Amino acid sequence: MILFPAVDILNGQSVRLLHGNFDKVTVYGDPVEMAEKWVGQGAEFLHLVDLNGAREGKGVNFSVIKQIAEKVKIPLQLGGGIRTMSDIAERLESGVTRVILGTACCNNPEIVKQAVNKFGAERIVAGIDAKDGKVAVHGWEESSDLSPYELGEKMYSFGLRYVVFTDISRDGALTGVNVDSCVKMAAETGLNVIASGGVGSLDDLRALNAKNLYGAILGKAIYEKKFNVTEAKEVIK
């Protein structure tokens, strides 16, 4: 299982949100320093989110993301406000390894097909966020009519092979990851699932690893020093 320490960026700062709520923000400092910190602890892949971009539909923190890409020499995946083919190309050209398409998966699925055809399945990731059994879009502030599993199947049929799957009810809450829903997503769609939301302990990582999931995002737990990246890697060896 691959671990993805998260660097969520809001107004140029590294933050964590509680339950995806922009009114419940904890600020942790400089995003570039945070990225370097996780790499120093042994991170092999980073998960970056432009939270302003997710909310506003455009890349607000792109200059910070380019700085991270210049400083760290490991793969990066990036989500938030990536809506067009030019957005995707710009991010990939800046040094980002994979881009995550979230709202676009629901609102403009044709672009997902185009992106996979042009850039390849290794470089495009679906971001599926679940809230009360439905897919949430636009920075988690709106809900669609689709179930996350239906959307996952659709994305697989378009050629996607990776999904960041977030249970918003658990995100930033350290209450434990929703292992069953992650397993269901993998089983029903065929996608490689990167579990996101609620990883609060090393036991959560053990539970995900035991189900042979592809990856897990480390967020608030590492920022609040529940464990570090080095310890997490030891657990899933």
Please determine, for residue 154, whether its predicted confidence score (pLDDT) is greater than 80: yes
Give residue 167's pLDDT band: very low, low, confident or very high (50, 70, 90). Answer: confident
Percent of the chain's residues with pLDDT above 70: 92
Q: Is residue 8 annotated as a catalytic residue, yes or no?
A: yes
Other beta carbons less than 10 A from residue 235's beta carbon: 16
Kindly list the distances between the CA atom of residue 9 and the CA atoms of 108, 144, 160, 225, in Å, as whole numbers in the listed order. 24, 25, 26, 19
Q: Angle at Cα 152 formed by Cα 197 and Cα 87, nearest 5°? A: 80
Q: Is residue 171 annotated as a catalytic residue, yes or no?
A: no
Is 26 or 137 the better-scoring residue by pLDDT?
Answer: 26
Other beta carbons less than 10 A from residue 104's beta carbon: 24
Catalytic residue among 50, 129, 167, 171: 129
Catalytic residue among 8, 87, 167, 171: 8
Task: Tell me if 68 sits within 8 A of 46, measured CB to CB.
Answer: yes
Which pLDDT score is estimated for 1? 97
Burial of 184 (0-12, 13-18, 19+ CB in 10 A): middle
- Domains annotated for the chain, with CATH where assigned, are 2-235 (3.20.20.70)
Minimum mean pLDDT range among 19-28, 34-43, 166-175, 208-217 = 166-175
Which pLDDT score is estimated for 74? 98
In tens, the pLDDT along 173-229 reads: 456 788 989 999 999 999 999 999 889 999 999 999 999 999 999 999 999 999 999
Please determine, for residue 139, whether its predicted confidence score (pLDDT) is greater than 50: no
In tens, the pLDDT along 60-99 reads: 799 999 999 999 999 999 999 898 999 999 999 999 999 9
Give the separation between CA 29 and CA 96, rounded to whole angstroms: 22
Q: How far is CA 41 from the centre of its chain?
A: 20
Kindly list the distances between the CA atom of residue 151 and the CA atoms of 70, 75, 143, 145, in Å, as whole numbers in the listed order. 34, 26, 13, 10
Other beta carbons less than 10 A from residue 51's beta carbon: 25
Look up residue 71 and give its two tokens. Answer: 């400083």
Give the separation between CA 10 and CA 16, rounded to whole angstroms: 9
Please count the CA atoms within 13 angstroms of the CA of 138 that sit on its side-chain side: 6
Is 142 or 111 the better-scoring residue by pLDDT?
Answer: 111
Q: How much is the pTM?
A: 0.91
Please determine, for residue 155, whether its predicted confidence score (pLDDT) is greater than 50: yes
Give residue 133's pLDDT band: very low, low, confident or very high (50, 70, 90). Answer: confident
Average pLDDT of the chain is 90
Percent of the chain's residues with pLDDT above 90: 73
Helix (H, G, I), strand (E, B), or coil: what is residue 177? Answer: coil
Task: Tell me if 102 sits within 8 A of 131, measured CB to CB.
Answer: no
Nearest to 214 by CA among 103, 108, 89, 98: 98
Q: Which residue, chain included where needed, has tokens 């923000």?
A: 25
In tens, the pLDDT along 97-114 reads: 999 998 889 888 999 999
